[in-house]
Amino acid sequence: MSSSKMSKGTRIIDSIIKIQQTVRCCLSKLQVRKLKDLQRHELKVAQSIKYLGDNLPKSKPKKQPSIMMRKPPIYKKTPKSQDEYAKSIIIIQKHIRGFLQRKKFKNLLIEKMLKEQEDQYETQIKKVEDALIGDEFYSNAQSPDLSEISIMNQSVDKSVIPSLRQLDKVSKFELPLPMSQRKKFSPSKNKKLVQPIVFDFDIYILAATEIQRVYRGHLVRKNLCGNFYRLRSRIKKIQHLYKNWKKRRSGQLELAIKLLSKHSNMMTTTFGSYQHLRSIVLNQDKNGKYSKVLESLDMKMRDVGLFNDRENSRNLQRKIIELEKEKREEKARHTKELEILKLRERNLIDDYMKGMKALKYQLEISHKNNFELFGKLFKRLQDAKKEADEDYNEPSTLLPENSL
């Protein structure tokens, strides 16, 4: 057992030393990077100043008025990710160093904790003994040490033990409670005596393992740099989309089942939509949740006779014949209405022509000069009549020419 404990202890120490080495390397690398960045910045500034001094014309600067002179803006420095990493690494170092110091004083710490536990047990035993001595039943004991008293051989006075007659007179509230019901000194309810001892050293080991786990995650993020956070955001987006898709899919399945139950009662008009919904359910219901519902609906449709191809073709042919009949009837009705309109318009034009002829005859007698005007009007009416006849003879665009 001791060898296994030593091996575990050495493993923990080795892992902690490795962590320290990696942390120190990271810190040194960060410092070197900062120095290099500063040197580059200084070189760039010096080069830019030299360039400006050589190229710009030398002239005295104009004095600006005091109102226009302003202080330069103060820009707050935002903390960089490298600074945050450095702080976290320093915190990890502190934890590890404290753990190593506690490891050195392990034996002393255990001895101290054992002494504290022994003192605690002794004080609790003394409290129990004092309570028993102060009790009414044990008040007549000769010696205070309970180990020396033998309760079986002890002579108990009859005056202490009450008789049945005395018990009837005494109320229930005056009687003493049994030991199990006393809250202060009952060992069943005092759980501190039964609690296991937890050493601080065990807590330190757990803390060290947690630090190791956190530091490994830190190394992974450091190697990935900015890509880690982008990757994490993309993964979250994908998870969110997948959850929404799952919810919609479950809703689509339930809706399809409801529509199927409705369409099964509605015969041939919804046969195409019924098949579409059935295919959705078969594709999505992988667990077979709605298999019994589908079977019952299929039985209904077979009883009606929709799943037979011959009956479907017959139903379609009947529909086509009915539509063609409706088309013929509509065409005949349209032709009759057009003929009636033609007759009405022709009668009106004839009446107008007769009236114009009578007027023309009267005007020829009275006003010979206006004869030409009435002749032109008459010609226009004849042209209008011809155009109307031609329009009626043309095929109508309202009726559909192509049949089903």
- The answer to whether the beta carbons of residues 388 and 345 sit under 8 Å apart is yes
Nearest-angstrom CA–CA distance, 127 and 121: 10
173 confidence band (pLDDT: 50, 70, 90)? very low
Candidate from 91-100, 165-174, 210-219 with smallest mean pLDDT = 165-174
Q: Are 130 and 238 members of one domain?
A: no
Is there a single domain that holds both residue 232 and residue 219?
no
- Report CA-CA distances (Å) from 49 to 59, 61, 170: 16, 17, 108
Phi and psi based region of residue 133 (left: phi greater than 0; alpha: psi -120 to 50; beta: remaining):
alpha
- Regarding whether 158 and 20 lie in a shared domain, the answer is yes
How many CA atoms does the CB half-sphere of 147 hold within 13 Å? 2
Separation of alpha carbons 259 and 74, rounded Å:
67
- Rounded mean pLDDT, 241-248: 77
Give the pLDDT confidence of 359-368 residue by residue, as tens digits: 777 766 666 6
Residue type, 200: D
**Of 224, 247, 282, which residue constitutes the final position of a domain?**
224
Same domain, 25 and 170: yes
What pLDDT is stored for residue 101 in this prediction? Answer: 72
Domain contains 363: yes
Neighbours of 281 (CB within 10 A): 20
pTM (global) more than 0.75: no
Q: Taking 70 as the threshold, does the pLDDT of residue 21 lie above it?
A: yes
**What phi and psi values does residue 140 have, to the nearest 5 degrees?**
-90, 15
Do residue 299 and residue 374 come from a single domain?
Answer: no
In a domain, 43, yes or no: no
Residue type (1 letter), 43: L
The amino acid present at 15, given as its one-letter code, is S
Asked if residue 205 is part of any domain, the answer here is yes
pLDDT of residue 195: 52
Average pLDDT for residues 292-303, to the nearest whole number? 68
At residue 117, the pLDDT reads: 78
Task: Give the pLDDT score at 276.
Answer: 65
Q: Is residue 269 part of a domain?
A: yes
59 lies in some domain: no
Q: What is the pLDDT of residues 65-89, one digit of tens each?
A: 454 556 665 655 665 666 777 777 7
Residue 320: closest CA among 213, 387, 404, 203? 404
At 395 the pLDDT is 54
Same domain, 354 and 286: no
Euclidean distance between CA atoms 124 and 399, whole angstroms: 109
351-402 pLDDT, tens digit each: 878 887 777 777 666 666 566 776 777 788 888 877 777 766 655 554 444 4
Domain co-membership, 368 together with 248: no
In whole angstroms, give the CA distance from residue 41 to residue 147: 86
Q: Which domain-ending residue is among 289, 307, 325?
A: 307
* pLDDT above 70: percentage of residues in the chain: 47
Rounded to an integer, the average pLDDT of 142-165 is 47
Higher pLDDT, 367 or 347: 347
User: Which of the residue ranges 27-31, 98-102, 292-296 has the most confident prediction, judged by mean pLDDT?
Assistant: 27-31
User: Is residue 202 domain-shared with residue 101, that is, in the same domain?
Assistant: yes
Between 232 and 7, residue with greater pLDDT: 232
Residue 153 pLDDT level (bands cut at 50, 70, 90): very low
Query: Which of 272, 276, 271 has its CA nearest to residue 304?
Result: 271
13 vs 38, higher pLDDT: 38
Query: 25 and 145 share a domain?
Result: yes
Residue 66 belongs to a domain? no
Who's near 110: CB < 8 A, 6+ residues apart?
199, 201
Question: Do 181 and 264 fall within a single domain?
Answer: no
pLDDT at position 310: 60
Q: How many domains does the chain have?
A: 3
Residue numbers of the domain that contains 114? 1-36+81-224
Residue at which a domain ends, from 205, 224, 243: 224
What is the average pLDDT value for the chain, to the nearest integer?
67
Q: Are residues 27 and 159 in the same domain?
A: yes
What is the rounded distance in angstroms from the CA atom of residue 69 to the CA atom of residue 63?
10
pLDDT tens profile 299-341: 666 665 555 556 666 777 787 788 888 888 888 888 888 888 8
For the ranges 46-50, 200-204, 282-286, the one whose mean pLDDT is highest: 46-50
